[in-house]
A and B are shown apart, each in its own frame.
Chain A
Amino acid sequence: MYAKKVVFSLSIILALVLSACAAPAQQPATQAPAQARPAATQAPAAPGVTTLTVWDYYGEATPIKPLIEPFEKANPDIKIDYQALDWDTTLEKLNVVLTSGGGPDVVTVDMTWIPKFASLGAFTDLKPISGGKLNGVAWDQAYTPGALEAITFNDQIIAALYDFDVYSLYYRSDLFEQKGLQVPKTWDELEAVAQKLAEGDKNLYEFDADTFHGSQWIYENGGSLMSPDNKTITFNSPEAVAGIQKYADLLMKDKVAVNWTKDQGERIQGVKDGRIAMFSDGPYYMGILKSAAPEMAGKWKVATHPFGKQPGSYLGGTGLAIPANSAKKDAAWKFVQFAMQTENEINVYKLAGAAPALTAALESPEVNIEDPYFGGEKAFGVFLESMKTAKHFPYVRQWADIDAAFTNAMQQIALGQKSVQDALNEAAATSTDALSK
């Protein structure tokens, strides 16, 4: 009796342990046969079906999910295993699966993740797999030069840019009209306008102590974050310091800006209660304004952000990438190309309210509509214009350290703890130290 019980219990434990061990091992096993089958060729007569795992961080308004049905119809040999994740989860899960194997075949990636993943070789080079063309159009024709640069790393194309993000000026056009103000084109004009707008803690320009905004003021003064070869830190050069100084003056000297910290709440609160009259952000925020502040329709407009020497902005967005450890790269590329077809790219705008990255989609009349929320202007055109001069963040492995050091410097400046020059010098020293490792 006892022996039987023992054997029974033992076998259950064994089964539990083995199943726990076996789970990860199964994945490569199921993927192996798919690798052998060239998915790019015509569908064989009676083949097994390739299943592609697609991770999508867009959320409810996703332009990717609606692609599945038509894609599967056009490619009966490919099935999509669609998984909706949020932005944070996608990053966490990517960290885990890229290091442990398995994971998706196509994934939405934020371009700010690229420095890390690309420098570690986590994504497939799309150049050879695409034969140099995206849906029959050469890569350098499909994208603007800035966008192409943003997806290029070490002469490889590591993602297809799906939507883009560049910063332009959002401003309260109703207040401008009331006070008879012109849209500022230069920093000096911005300063003058901000002084006329501000009333105590109302109608201010939003100051953000982060790299997205800091870099914009540096670019706009002809400066840069790093040298073109990504070897030297340049954000403490004279042009860069002067740019940040001008930005900080709005806050510290003129007191016409508000340092938008955690305890100010969400920006949309400041937009609604009138604390913010101007801020700089990407095209995605048009959608947020429309849905979260519908009562303010007609009160906001968008313009190129004022600059010192030249317009400038960081360039980011969402890319579609194929992880290097995917065993179904050809089928995955088919899906990426499908998503990048012009009419599907237009859905990035129609469904998600984001800015499609493909030049053909950008120029389509369906995207360049007159937007009643923004006073009947073609608000999108402003961002298209900004995109032409925007630059992506440097793609170096140590970017997270540099980003943290720069952000810290911006916070020190905003708190008045250090002068602009001292804060940026210190951040540059920290970053240079990180680069040497």
Chain B
Amino acid sequence: MTAATFPKSVTRFMHKYAIAYLFIAVPILSIILFLVIPMVVSFWWSLNDYSGLQAPKFVALNNYVELLTHDKIFIKSLFNTTLFVLLGMTLGPTLGLLTALMLNQKVRFQSFFRTAYYLPVMTSLVVVSTIWIMLYNQNGLFNTILLNLGLSRVGWLSDPKLALLSVVFASVWQGFGFETVIFLAALQSIPRELYEAAMIDGAGALQQFWYVTVPKLRPVIVFVYIIGIIGSYQVFDQVFVMTLGGPVYSTETIVYYLYAKFRDLRLGYASAIAYILFFILVIFSYLQWRVSRGRED
């Protein structure tokens, strides 16, 4: 492959961009190798009854039909995961915004608080979940407080009405520091003058927040929600460590169910679950992209 055989313009082009394309080639190749090919293979599996040990049996869309119309546990896991996302994405960003607003005031030890809020984010979810199991214990901190208040114990992880909520609390505690840091950075980038102008126009604190802060934060809010929803729909670690999907499937989530099917070597079925999750996330990403684009126009 000598350059001499190419026309001059091509040679010049190659000289100019060859290195650039080479550098791009590395991530592209790794994406193809570790993402695109597995995705295509996984999609093929999702159309098959496949254990990995025996030859795949083509079943067309049967896995999808079974999952969405017959599989009560999967439908329950869809419901649970959506509830988890709704609760988590209500509590998390709200807490994140509140703490960011407080830290944005000229509080003392600001960097200490910022680090403190961010520390759980850097801690492994498995560690966080293990700590929360202890807090939720029959004789743990929360139940001790309840008993001291003259109330009775609560089965945080054993009552099916509470278990999912308990997992949400632990997850929000672990994650909202991320939102705090993002919101804080965005708040600090809002020009002072805007607030000063608003003040001159006679806007109170609430009006300033509503007419200056919120519009300026909008792109960041959209970002936080995109990242948050995609992440929350894939909730797994907390469930794996804290509840194993129980009691009575009250904390069964999509990825935990996928994992159970993978462990049972139902690779076709598990792949179909993965693709349903993928489609859900594509829809959400598209909606949010539309929302953010609509605002910019």
Q: Do A and B bind each other?
A: yes
What residues on B are CB-neighbors of A261 within 8 Å? 155, 157-158, 247
Most buried by B among A95, A100, A412: A95
For the complex, give the distance between the alpha carbons of A261 and B133 in Å: 11
Say whether A287 faces chain B, with CB atoms less than 8 Å apart. Answer: no
Minimum Cβ distance to chain A for residue B67 (Å): 13
Cβ contact within 8 Å between B262 and A95:
yes
Minimum Cβ distance to chain A for residue B155 (Å): 6
Measured CB to CB, the nearest residue on chain B to A401 is B264
Contact pick for A264, options B51, B53, B137, B242, CB 8 Å: B137
**0/1 interface trace, chain A 80-119, chain B, CB 8 Å (1 if under):** 0000000000011001001110000000000000001000
Say whether A5 faces chain B, with CB atoms less than 8 Å apart. Answer: yes
With A262-B243, A264-B138, A411-B247 as known contacts, state yes or no: A98 contacts B53, CB within 8 Å.
yes
What residues on A are CB-neighbors of B155 within 8 Å? 261, 263
Contact pick for A100, options B52, B134, B244, CB 8 Å: B52
For the complex, give the distance between the alpha carbons of A412 and B242 in Å: 19
Cβ contact within 8 Å between A13 and B54:
no
Cβ contact within 8 Å between A259 and B158:
yes
Cβ contact within 8 Å between B157 and A408:
no
Contact pick for B53, options A122, A400, A430, CB 8 Å: A122
Say whether B248 faces chain A, with CB atoms less than 8 Å apart. Answer: yes
Cβ contact within 8 Å between B3 and A412:
no
Minimum Cβ distance to chain B for residue A228 (Å): 24
What residues on A are CB-neighbors of B264 within 8 Å? 116, 400-401
Contact pick for B54, options A120, A263, A265, A404, CB 8 Å: A120
For the complex, give the distance between the alpha carbons of A122 and B73 in Å: 28
Contact pick for B19, options A6, A91, A121, A415, CB 8 Å: A6
What residues on B are CB-neighbors of A120 within 8 Å? 51, 53-54, 265
Say whether A20 faces chain B, with CB atoms less than 8 Å apart. Answer: yes
Cβ contact within 8 Å between B248 and A91:
no
Cβ contact within 8 Å between A99 and B265:
yes
Say whether A17 faces chain B, with CB atoms less than 8 Å apart. Answer: yes
Say whether B108 faces chain A, with CB atoms less than 8 Å apart. Answer: no
Which residues 1-39 in A have Cβ within 8 Å of B in the complex? 2-3, 5-6, 9-10, 13, 16-17, 20
Cβ contact within 8 Å between A415 and B160:
yes
What residues on A are CB-neighbors of B53 within 8 Å? 98-99, 120-122
For the complex, give the distance between the alpha carbons of A40 and B29 in Å: 46
Cβ contact within 8 Å between B22 and A9:
yes
Cβ contact within 8 Å between A265 and B137:
yes
Say whether B10 faces chain A, with CB atoms less than 8 Å apart. Answer: no
**0/1 interface trace, chain B 244-270, chain A, CB 8 Å (1 if under):** 101111000000000010111101000
Say whether B206 faces chain A, with CB atoms less than 8 Å apart. Answer: no
Cβ contact within 8 Å between A263 and B22:
no
Cβ contact within 8 Å between A5 and B19:
yes
What residues on B are CB-neighbors of A259 within 8 Å? 158
Cβ contact within 8 Å between B22 and A13:
yes
What residues on A are CB-neighbors of B156 within 8 Å? 263
Contact pick for B242, options A10, A262, A417, CB 8 Å: A262
User: What's the tally of chain A residues with a CB closer than 8 Å to chain B?
Assistant: 38
For the complex, give the distance between the alpha carbons of A122 and B15 in Å: 54
Minimum Cβ distance to chain B for residue A143 (Å): 27
For the complex, give the distance between the alpha carbons of A98 and B140 in Å: 43
Q: Is the interface of A mostly helix, strand, loop or mixed?
A: helix
Which residues 23-68 in A have Cβ within 8 Å of B in the complex? none
Range class of the B interface residue count: 35 or more
Cβ contact within 8 Å between A262 and B157:
yes
Minimum Cβ distance to chain B for residue A7 (Å): 9
Say whether B18 faces chain A, with CB atoms less than 8 Å apart. Answer: yes
What residues on B are CB-neighbors of A98 within 8 Å? 52-53
Contact pick for A265, options B3, B25, B138, B244, CB 8 Å: B138
For the complex, give the distance between the alpha carbons of A407 and B54 in Å: 29
Cβ contact within 8 Å between A2 and B263:
no
For the complex, give the distance between the alpha carbons of A180 and B205 in Å: 75
Say whether B145 faces chain A, with CB atoms less than 8 Å apart. Answer: no
What residues on B are CB-neighbors of A264 within 8 Å? 137-138, 158
Cβ contact within 8 Å between A411 and B137:
no
Contact pick for A13, options B26, B137, B139, CB 8 Å: B26
For the complex, give the distance between the alpha carbons of A411 and B159 in Å: 10
Say whether B236 faces chain A, with CB atoms less than 8 Å apart. Answer: no
Measured CB to CB, the nearest residue on chain B to A113 is B263
Say whether B136 faces chain A, with CB atoms less than 8 Å apart. Answer: yes
Minimum Cβ distance to chain B for residue A110 (Å): 13
Cβ contact within 8 Å between B249 and A263:
no
Say whether B98 faces chain A, with CB atoms less than 8 Å apart. Answer: no
Minimum Cβ distance to chain A for residue B49 (Å): 9
**0/1 interface trace, chain A 397-437, chain B, CB 8 Å (1 if under):** 00011001001100110010100000000000010010000
Cβ contact within 8 Å between B242 and A6:
no
Contact pick for B51, options A99, A209, A415, A417, CB 8 Å: A99
Say whether B33 faces chain A, with CB atoms less than 8 Å apart. Answer: yes
Measured CB to CB, the nearest residue on chain B to A98 is B53
Measured CB to CB, the nearest residue on chain B to A260 is B158
For the complex, give the distance between the alpha carbons of A262 and B160 in Å: 12
For the complex, give the distance between the alpha carbons of A401 and B29 in Å: 39
**0/1 interface trace, chain A 242-284, chain B, CB 8 Å (1 if under):** 0000000000000000010111110000000000000000000
Measured CB to CB, the nearest residue on chain A to B18 is A6
With A262-B243, A264-B138, A400-B260 as known contacts, state yes or no: A408 contacts B265, CB within 8 Å.
no
Which residues 1-34 in B have Cβ within 8 Å of A in the complex? 3, 15, 18-19, 22, 25-26, 29, 33
List 27 A-B pairs, Cβ < 8 Å. A9-B22, A13-B26, A13-B29, A16-B26, A17-B29, A17-B33, A95-B262, A95-B263, A99-B267, A116-B264, A121-B53, A122-B53, A261-B157, A261-B158, A262-B133, A262-B242, A262-B243, A262-B246, A263-B137, A263-B140, A264-B137, A265-B134, A265-B137, A401-B264, A404-B260, A407-B246, A417-B160
Q: Nearest 5 A-B pairs (CB), nearest first?
A: A99-B52, A261-B158, A120-B53, A263-B157, A400-B264
